[in-house]
Amino acid sequence: MNSEAKDEDERTVQEKERAQTWARAQSERRKCVKAVFFAPGKLEKTIETHMAKAETLAAGSEHRMVHFAADSWWAVERQPWLASSCSADEIKPLVETMLAKKQATDVILVHDGRSRTVRRMLEDVFHDKAKDFADLWITYNPGACKGRKTFLGADNRATMFCDLPTSRTLWAVEEISDFTGAGAVDTHANTMTGVKPLTWWNMPLISASDKARVLCHTASCPPKTLYDATMGQPLLWNERNSLAYYTARIKRFKVKKKGTLLFGWRGRTRARMP
C-alpha cells in the first residue's frame, strides 16, 4: 500500500471515530439540556410543544428554567455590532407564549438584551401576565465602546424579568458569592453586579459563509480596525453573558440538572453541560 492510500485510510478511520464520538456526545447532552430553535411562522407552536413536557419537581427547591435573551435574537441591521438589534414587537409573542405555557415548577427568565425598547415591552407583559413576578438587575463591567460615545449612553446594564413557580416569600434566602460588587451577601439581593462581559474574542467563532446559512442572509462585519474576522466571527455580535454568569444564575434559581429549555445562543447550553 502506497503512502497516499495509507493516509486516506487513516483519514477515513479518524472521520468514523469522530462521527461516533459526536453521536455519543449528542446523546449525553440531551440528558442534561435541550436547545430549542424554531422555523419562521412556527414560533409559538414550537414553544408550546417543548414546554408541555414537564418534569415532577419541587417548587421552591427544584426547577426547570425556560429562558430567552433578547440579545440572542437574529441581527439583520447593517451594523449589528453597534447596538442591540432585537425588535420588541417580534419577540413579544414569544414571551407571551412562554408565560402562558408555564408549568408548575418552571422559572421563566427573560433578559432584555440591554435594550430600552425591549425593557419597556417586557415590563408591560410581565406585569400583566406573570403569576409570581420578580426582576433582577444586572450591571456589567465597562467594556470598549464599539461606536460613538454619548452622555449616559452606555449599554452596561440589563434587567432580567422573572416569573417564579411560587411567591418569593416561600423561597429560602441563601448566601451567594458571585457578582456581589454592590455588597450583596445573599439572595435577598435582586442584583448581579460586576459581571464581566463576554468579548468577541472569547466567543465561539463561525465563518462568514456558515453564518449566512444560519441567519439566511449575508451578515455584515465590523471594519478590521475594530475586529479582524479573518479567523471567523461571532454568530451574534451583541451577546455579552459568559459561562460564569449563566452558571451563577442557574445556582441562584435552583435549576435542576435536567429539564432546562433554552431559547437562544449556545453559551447557555455550555453552562448546563457540567
Q: Where are the domains of the chain?
A: 32-203+240-272
Burial class (CB in 10 A: 0-12, 13-18, 19+), 185: exposed
Burial class (CB in 10 A: 0-12, 13-18, 19+), 129: middle
Burial class (CB in 10 A: 0-12, 13-18, 19+), 47: buried
Name the fold adopted by 32-203+240-272. Rossmann fold (3.40.50)
Q: CB within 8 A of 198, min separation 6: which ones? A: 239, 240, 241, 242, 267
How far, in Å, CA of 127 to CA of 117, rounded? 16
Amino acid at 206: I
pLDDT attached to residue 186: 93
Low-confidence ranges of the chain (pLDDT < 70): 1-4, 6-7, 29-41, 53-55, 74-78, 83-85, 257-274
Using left for φ > 0, alpha for ψ between -120 and 50, and beta otherwise, residue 110 falls in: beta
For 35, phi then psi, to 5°, come to -95, 125
Q: What H or E segment, with its residue span, contains residue 233?
A: strand 233-234
pLDDT attached to residue 31: 65
- 96: helix, strand or coil: helix
pLDDT attached to residue 123: 96
pLDDT attached to residue 26: 74
Q: Which of 114, 112, 105, 136 is nearest to 260 (CA)?
A: 105
Cell of 42: 412556527
pLDDT attached to residue 234: 87
pLDDT attached to residue 270: 46
